[in-house]
Amino acid sequence: HEHNRLDRDDYVVINANNIREGKQEQYDKEDESAIQNLTPYDYYSIMHYGVESNTKSLGLQTITVLDKNIDIDRIGQRTDLSDSDAFEIRCMYGCASCEAINECEMGTDNCHINADCLDTELSYTCTCQDGFSGDGFSCTNINECEDGTDNCHINADCSDTEGNYICTCQNGFSGDGFSCTNINECEDGTDKCHINADCSDTEGNYICTCQNGFTGDGFSCTNINECEDGTDKCHINADCSDTGGDY
């Protein structure tokens, strides 16, 4: 039986306390001299017990599957031989068709959807793709933005995606996110400064300052009437006339 293999602990956990009396020995590992694996562990083998086989009580699992991508309802099926079952039988009986199975090509591997499958002699390996971490049978997304392994520019924002990330230059900078250069809004005319304000470029931004004779925040500037507010420098015997931004 598949669950009697020496390597079974890498794939399943046997819940001995849930096995009914007299059936425990059916879950013992076989001695190395008494077993030939021939193929990778096969959850869907016709020789694999179901997850509740020989249970003390309905609902208690005697076998817990470690690979969360496995359909536990298919484990313990007695409908037909799996590809691995058929291969093992051919090999054990010396059939001419005893050739290695390419699980990667056949799609019978247990690699995670975000892992690459590499066929080896009588087995295969699973390797998580870039942007994911795990053992290949289980792969989880790496958040490069959180762990600081992204290559975004210092003036770019990092957004995590499934298996990757996106770098976007912040406001006031242009580029592809991996390289960001300052935008000079004052030079290219994209600033929002008032017509009567001076624009000064800063790193990633700009400053608007109302010109002499005007008051405001630089985005809105209104004329100062020096004649009315008494800030003019006209002689005592001179008349003051206000002009736009001067007198």
The CATH number linked to 219 is 2.10.25.10
Same structural domain for residues 69 and 94?
yes
pLDDT, position 162: 95
Q: Is 93 exposed, middle or buried (0-12, 13-18, 19+ CB in 10 A)?
A: exposed
Domain for residue 196, yes or no?
yes
Please report the pLDDT score of residue 154 as a whole number.
Answer: 97
**Domain assignment present for 242:** no
Q: Contact, 126 vs 110, CB < 8 A?
A: yes
Rounded Cα distance, 232 and 215, in Å = 15
- Asked whether residue 107 falls in the same domain as residue 93, the answer is no
Closest to 153 (Cα-Cα) out of 169, 142, 165:
169
Residue 60: inside a domain, yes or no?
Answer: yes
Q: What is the Cα–Cα distance from 21 to 25, expressed in whole angstroms?
A: 10
Give the pLDDT score at 35: 81
Q: Is pLDDT larger for residue 108 or for residue 59?
A: 59
User: Which structure tokens are listed for 134?
Assistant: 């795990």
**Tokens at 40, concatenated:** 């990778």
pTM over 0.85: no
Of 129, 147, 130, 128, residue with least CA distance to 138: 128
Q: Is residue 235 part of a domain?
A: no
Same domain, 29 and 77: yes
Q: Is residue 246 part of a domain?
A: no
Q: Are 6 and 83 within one domain?
A: yes
Residue 133 included in any domain: yes
- Helix H or strand E encompassing 165: strand 164-169
> Which SS3 state, helix, strand or coil, does residue 207 take?
strand
CA distances from 29 to 57, 60, 69, 115, 139 (A): 23, 21, 24, 30, 28
Residue written as tokens 């406001």? 171
pLDDT score for 122: 64
Boundary-marking domain end, from 111, 141, 171? 141
- β-pair partners for 202: 205
Same domain, 118 and 36: no
Identity (one letter) of the amino acid at 88? E
- The token pair at 220 is 């809105």
Residues 6+ apart with CB under 8 A from 159: 145, 165, 166, 167, 168
Task: Look over the chain and give the mean of its residue pLDDT values, rounded to a whole number.
Answer: 93
> What is the C-alpha separation between 76 and 64, in angstroms, rounded?
13
Shared domain for 92 and 111, answered yes or no, is no
pLDDT in tens, 122-133: 678 999 999 999
Q: Are residues 85 and 16 in the same domain?
A: yes
The predicted pLDDT at position 121 comes to 66
170-226 tens-digit pLDDT = 999 999 999 999 999 999 999 999 999 999 999 999 999 999 999 999 999 999 999
Query: How many domains are there within the chain?
Result: 4
Q: Are residues 178 and 194 in the same domain?
A: no
Name which residue leads in pLDDT, 31 or 214: 214
In a domain, 240, yes or no: no
Is residue 1 marked as binding?
Answer: yes
Domain with 76 in it:
2-99
Domain co-membership, 6 together with 85: yes
